[in-house]
Amino acid sequence: MRVVCPGSFDPITLGHVDIIERAAACFSEVIVAVAQNSAKNHMFEPAERVELVEVAVGHLPNVSVHALSGLLVDFCVAHDASALVKGVRTAGDYEYEAQMAQWNRTLKGIETLLVPTAPQWSYLSSTKVREVATLGGDVRAYVPAAVADRIRTWLAERPVGRGKEPGDG
């Protein structure tokens, strides 16, 4: 069975890697779908996020990585995948994911399988990794080594304002 692990992955964290590894252990094929992210405070462009996800899951032979634009259910149909696998950390995540799951099932019959996040990653999010890194914190314990290296380069390229866009408050 082929499944899709979708996300923005800005950047991919060790929590994401854990979910993808566990999906890869359960299913014959996993496609990681890296969504476009229109958020203003993004860190990496979509193509760079795809590259970093590829490095992070390079040890998993049955996992491939693709960019996602448009509806996730259309991506699933185009890639002949019948289910999504997503991690849930909290009750809040569950409520959000349960709603998304109904949309994806009613739109195109795509099922959603929710996997409880491993306890050690239950507080982890890409948003917090971006915030901590941008404010000078060490994020090496939360992201793959290649991602931590790339974040260091990203910060070094932005000595003024540490990642803020001109005009940001």
Tell me the window of 57-65, 96-104, 109-117, 145-153 that interacts with ligand PNS (CB under 6 A).
Answer: 96-104
Torsion of CA 67, 113, 40, 122, to 10 degrees: -120
Token pair recorded at residue 122: 């239950």
Least distance CB 93 / ligand PNS (angstroms)? 9
Look at residues 97, 29, 39 and name the one whose alpha carbon lies nearest to residue 65. 29
Residue 64 annotated in active site: no
Residue 108 annotated in active site: no
Among 3, 5, 6, 11, binds ligand PNS (CB under 6 A): 6
**Closer CB to ligand PNS, 35 or 83, in the complex:** 35
**What is the DSSP track for 24-61?**
HHHSSEEEEEEE----TT--S-HHHHHHHHHHHTTT-T
Residue 66 annotated in active site: no
Among 104, 112, 117, 134, binds ligand PNS (CB under 6 A): 104
Residue 86 annotated in active site: no
Of 8, 86, 126, 130, the active-site residue reads: 126
Among 4, 12, 32, 35, binds ligand PNS (CB under 6 A): 35
The strands making up 111-116's β-sheet, listed across from edge to edge, are 63-68, 29-35, 2-7, 83-88, 111-116
Residue 161 burial (CB < 10 Å; 0-12/13-18/19+)?
exposed
d(CA 128, CA 89): 14
**Closer CB to ligand PNS, 99 or 120, in the complex:** 99
**Closer CB to ligand PNS, 26 or 39, in the complex:** 39
Instruction: Please list the active-site residues.
Output: 16, 40, 89, 126
Q: Where do contacts with ligand PNS occur on this chain (CB under 6 A)? A: 6-8, 35, 71-72, 100, 103-104
